[in-house]
Amino acid sequence: MSKPTADWERVGDRFYRKTQLYTSVFDPDLEIENYVVTGAPYSGAVAIYRDTSKIYSFRGSQTAKSSIDLYSCAGRLIRQIPWEKGAIRALGWSEDERLLVVTEDGTVRSYVDLQGDFTPFSLGHGSEEHGVQACKFWATGFAALLGDNTVVIVTNYDEPRPHVLAAPPSGEVVSWAVIPPEHTSSRSVEVILAIDKTIYVTDAVECEDRGLEAGPFRHISVSPNGEFIALYTDDGKVWVISSDFQMRFSEYNSKVKTPPRDLQWCGNNAVALAWEDEVHLVGPNGAATEYFYNSFVHLLPDVDGLRVLTNDVCEFVQKVPEASEEVFRLGSTSPGSVLLDAVDQLEKKTPKADDNIQLIRQNLDEAVDVCIRAAGQEYSIHWQKQLLKAASFGKSVLDFYNSDDFVDMTESLRVLNAVRFFEVGLPLSYDQYIRLTPERLVQRLVNRQDYLLALRVSEYLHLPVDRIYVHWARQKVRTSASNEDMICEEIVRKLNGKLGISFEEVAHAAYDEGRGKLATDLLEHEPRAGKQVPLLLRIGEDSVALDKAIESGDTDLVFHVLLSIKRKVPLASFFRTINSRPIATAIVESSAIDQDRELLKDLYYQDDRRVDGSNLLLSEALSASDVGPAADKLKMAAKLLRDSKDHATQVAALEDAQKLLRFQEAFEKDLGERFVGLSVNDTISKLIKMGNMKRSQKVQTEFKVSDKTFWWIRLRALIVRRDWRELEELSKTRKSPIGWEPFFNESLGAGNPKVASLYIPKCTSLTMPERAEMWIKCGMISKAGEEALKAKDRNMLEDLRTKATGNSALDIDRMIAQLQKGR
């Protein structure tokens, strides 16, 4: 077995290693130097297409057809996407392995799961006019540079919404790069552009000149963690600076006349420069190493390293992880290294094994940890086993050790080794695996239609498997040639009883394939009512969709269905659809009341809901600004109901309303005051306040206002008017339908005890003490005394005596005396 350190190179004070992942990657005939090559993050698929600006040898019309080819890292062709759409300006990947193709005219196609299906959108913002020059991609979005130096960014592929950044100055953009939003302080994308001799940084708000002089900069590259920027200066130097342009960390002189073809970061610590068949790796402080290849190289940067792709090899260059360095470095005496040696000795059955253990006894747990971590970083299964053996051996010596990490690592390694297998071709490093998460790894397997492996991995790691089944079923629906019933049966058989299967997605796929019946059949199995709705609508099963929407309880969904039905069918059948469904009717009514009264009228008419129809007209009458139209509407409202006996009172009310309006109009003309808008009672009240007794009585008789009510209105109006004379006059009337107490209360309340007192004697129904109390309220103690005297209430008199002063005191005294005398 070759030593793990065989492919290590020292760069400055660190080691870098170059791991050969796969060999004979591409067809030797493929002239990879003539292709543009981009790789998806986390060791994902590689997309290549022929660079149209390069000359290539003609090999018949077959190969001349242009296409975008998707390969795995091991060179397995995953899919070929034929391309006739126009000049491709950029090809890029998102972190969920979505392929984006940007053409010169600003059209973007987004291919979701390595299949041929795509969703297109346009960049706009003048991209048709000026043309797209180039694009830079990051995990969740990309920036496009247009011919007029406008930068358009898209930050979300699910709902792409291109934005323009602040305009940079004109001039040729020598090179450029983006800092993804997650790494900037402003949380928005920043784009770095090398124009002339300097560098501009632009974001949504402003474009700033960083005032550098060493340009033009041939290459700019931003490190994966967004903290550093590597620049290639005009005089052949590589600068590494901080991304806020405040610090310069290192400088390296390549001493090569031709500028490199590509400059990329390798992890966050080193920068790789690529010429045709040569790669320079520049570490911190300008230390460097060089790699030479037999053929043309492409650099595919990843989060923790760099993939190097040539026609026949795929290699991974990365900084040697700390754990590996600790264990394997020549001459290392670290506990981990000693432990590994101990296992060797153990296999040779020498007692040195125990000596080794004793040597590192103090740090044994640390040694085990290191071995486990180092195992994760190894690509060679032999060394993985060796390291795990060491860890297991060390662990057995320890009294207490939590084996979780060990178990997790063995699980992870099993998965990693499985997916690194050349037929799968996902050479994930351990760090990439952790960042990608097992769930998304499974998704990638599913996208490659490796269903069995995906299922095995999911089951092994206890992940949900429903997505895999659904994807499988969708694929089945798309490609299977057997008849629809059989497909449905097969899918249902396979998916039945599995938790959380979304049949709706499968049905959707079926519908998109034009298999309407299959779609309906499959939809029947969808457990979520709400999810069935959109597809049902598209299929044209409107009333089923409406029922399902109602069933789901989501009124938004119901409303949505209603809107789309209303758009599709004539009004009459729309009403027929809703009138058997009260919730739908309620929603239509409550939305129409604000927006569409005509619709409501039609609805009421069709359903023969006369009262509602009449009320609607009444409401319109209220909205009318003038009396005339209001009266007309009222007339119509009354007419609607006149035929039916049940609504006689409502008709009467509506007619009264018209009558009142007529009266009020007349009063307005005669008296020059505003009456319209007042109620019957208020009209009477206003007339009385204006001293128009006659007219008020006319209103009373016309509207049959009861005497009681009328008297109350009169009383309150007179009080407001402070018409004490009239009130006195009233006190002389024989009878009041509301009694006299209200007169007393209101007068007193209005601050006129004198008038109030006039009513006290008339309150004959009240008891003596109550009346006495009324007198007291008016401040007439002696009158109260008289009441008491009449009732021969000695106690009350005594009581009154304490309240009384002056004359009334004398009066009370006299009464007390009288009472005593009387006895």
Partner 1 sequence: MAAHSAVRAINSQEITEKARRDLLHLLEGVRGKKNLVIEKSLAGTIGLFVKFSTLQEYGVDKVFFLENHNVDASQRNVVFLVRGENAKKARMVAEQIRLVRSESQTDHDFTVIWVPRRTLVSNTILEEHGVLGEANIAELPLHFIPLEHDLLSLELENSFSDLMLRKDPTCVWAAARALMLLQKQYGLFQRILGKGDNAQRLADLLQRMRSEEDVNASSDPNNSTLTSFGLTPSSVVENLIIVDREVDMPTVLSTQLTYEGLLDEVFGVANNQTEVDSSVLGGASAPRPDRNSSPAPTAATKRKIHLDSSDKLYPLLRDNNFATIGPTLNRTARRLQSDQQNIKQSDQSIADLKTFVSKLPAHQAESASLNTHTSLAQEIMKFTQSEIFGRSLEVQQNLLAGADPSTMHDNIEELIARGVPFRAVLRLLCLESCLNNGIRSRDLESFKRQIEQAYGYQHVLTLANLERMGILVPRESHRGYLNPIASTAGSTTTDTNALRRALSLWIDDIAEADPDDIAYTFSGYAPISVRLVQAVLQKSHLHNLANPPKPGAPSSAPSGTGWKGFEDVLSRIRGATVDVTQKGSDADASAARKTLRGSKEGPKTTVVFFLGGVTFAEIAALRFVGQQIGEATGRRLVIGTTSIISGDRAMAVAEEKRKFGE
Asked whether position 5 contacts partner 1 by CB under 8 A, the answer is: no
Report 763-822 residues binding partner 1 (CB under 8 A).
Answer: none
| HSE toward the beta carbon, residue 118, CA cutoff 13 A | 16
Residue 505 as a binder of partner 1 (CB under 8 A): the answer is: yes
Which of 403, 417, 590, 733: binder of partner 1 (CB under 8 A)?
A: 590
Question: Which residue type occupies 814?
Answer: R
Binding segment (CB under 8 A) for partner 1, from list 28-36, 71-79, 202-210, 241-249:
202-210
Q: How far is the CB of 615 from partner 1 (least distance, A)?
A: 5
Stretch touching partner 1 by CB under 8 A, among 7-15, 36-44, 583-591, 718-726 = 583-591
Single out the segment in contact with partner 1 by CB under 8 A; choices: 12-20, 327-335, 407-415, 526-534.
Answer: 526-534
Site for partner 1 in 159-178 (CB under 8 A): 159, 161, 163
Report the residue from 467, 471, 515, 762 that binds partner 1 according to the rule CB under 8 A: 467
188 binding partner 1? (CB under 8 A):
yes
**24/437 with CB nearer partner 1:** 437
Q: Which amino acid is at 162?
A: P
**Residue 451 binds to partner 1 (criterion: CB under 8 A):** no
Interface residue with partner 1, options 464, 540, 691, 779 (CB under 8 A): 464
185 binds partner 1, rule: CB under 8 A: no
**CA nearest neighbour of 498 among 527, 457, 532, 456:** 527
Min separation Cβ 529 and partner 1, Å: 8
When asked if residue 661 is in the footprint of partner 1 (CB under 8 A), the reply is yes
What's the gap between Cα 427 and its chain centre?
34
The answer to whether the CB of 180 falls within 8 A of the CB of 190 is no
Quick one: three-class SS letters along 158-176? Answer: CCCCCEECCCCCCCCEEEE
Interacting residues with partner 1 between 39 and 78 (CB under 8 A): none
Query: Which residues in the 666-685 window bind partner 1 by CB under 8 A?
Result: 676-682, 685
Residues 6+ apart with CB under 8 A from 154: 108, 123, 141, 142, 143, 144, 160, 161, 162, 163
Burial class from Cβ neighbours inside 10 Å (0-12, 13-18, 19+) for residue 822 reads exposed
Q: Going residue by residue from 713 to 742, which x/- string records binding to partner 1, judged by CB under 8 A?
A: x--x---------------------x----
Q: Is 233 helix (H, G, I), strand (E, B) or coil?
A: coil
Cβ count within 10 A of residue 495 = 19
| Cα torsion angle, 794, 796, 802, 804, sign | negative
Q: How far is the CB of 546 from partner 1 (least distance, A)?
A: 14
Candidate list 501, 687, 730, 778; residue touching partner 1; CB under 8 A: 501
Judged by CB under 8 A, the chain residues 401 through 440 that form the site for partner 1 are 437, 439-440
User: CB of 230 within 8 A of CB of 223?
Assistant: yes
Site for partner 1 in 685-704 (CB under 8 A): 685, 703
The CB-of-98 to partner 1 minimum distance in angstroms stands at 12
Instruction: Give the x-and-dash track for 243-282 against partner 1 (CB under 8 A).
Output: ----------------------------------------
Nearer to partner 1, 61 or 765 (CB): 765
Type of residue found at 580: S
Q: How far is the CB of 730 from partner 1 (least distance, A)?
A: 16
Q: How far is Cα of residue 371 from the mean position of the Cα atoms in its chain? A: 44
Q: How far is the CB of 587 from partner 1 (least distance, A)?
A: 6
Q: Give the Cα separation of 730 and 732 in Å (integer).
A: 5
225-244 residues near partner 1, rule: CB under 8 A? none
Q: Segment 619-638, which members bind partner 1 (CB under 8 A)?
A: 619, 621-627, 630
The token duo for 51 is 């660079």
Residue 466, interface with partner 1 (CB under 8 A)?
Answer: yes
SS3 467: helix
Three-state secondary-structure class, residue 704: coil
Nearest CA to 541 out of 566, 565, 574 is that of 565
Under the binding rule (CB under 8 A), the answer on residue 649 touching partner 1 is yes
Could you tell me the two tokens for 114?
Answer: 């390595």
How many other β-carbons are positioned within 10 Å of the β-carbon of residue 118? 15
Task: Tell me the helix, strand and coil percentages in the chain, rounded to 5.
Answer: 50, 20, 30
- When binding is defined by CB under 8 A, the residue of 30, 214, 544, 653 that contacts partner 1 is 653
CA–CA dist 80, 444 (Å, integer): 17
Question: Strands 151-154 and 262-266: what pairing?
Answer: unpaired
Q: Does 80 bind partner 1 (CB under 8 A)?
A: no
CB of 713 to partner 1, least distance (A): 7
- H-assigned helices in 553-609: 555-568, 571-579, 582-595, 597-606
Q: Binding to partner 1 by residue 745, rule CB under 8 A?
A: yes
Least distance to partner 1, CB of residue 634, Å:
8
- Contact letters (x/-) for partner 1, 562-581, by CB under 8 A? -x------------------
Q: Is 141 helix (H, G, I), strand (E, B) or coil?
A: strand
Assess 708 for contact with partner 1 (CB under 8 A): yes
Nearest to 144 by CA among 155, 131, 132, 126: 132
Question: CA geometry: angle at 724 spanning 719 and 726, to 5°?
Answer: 95
Say if CB 154 and CB 147 are below 8 A apart: no
Q: State which of positions 105-144 bind partner 1 (CB under 8 A).
A: none
Residue 322 vs 707, nearer CB to partner 1: 707
Site size toward partner 1 (CB under 8 A) is 86
Inter-residue contact 667 to 675 (CB < 8 Å): yes
> What is the nearest approach in angstroms of partner 1 to the Cβ of residue 709?
4
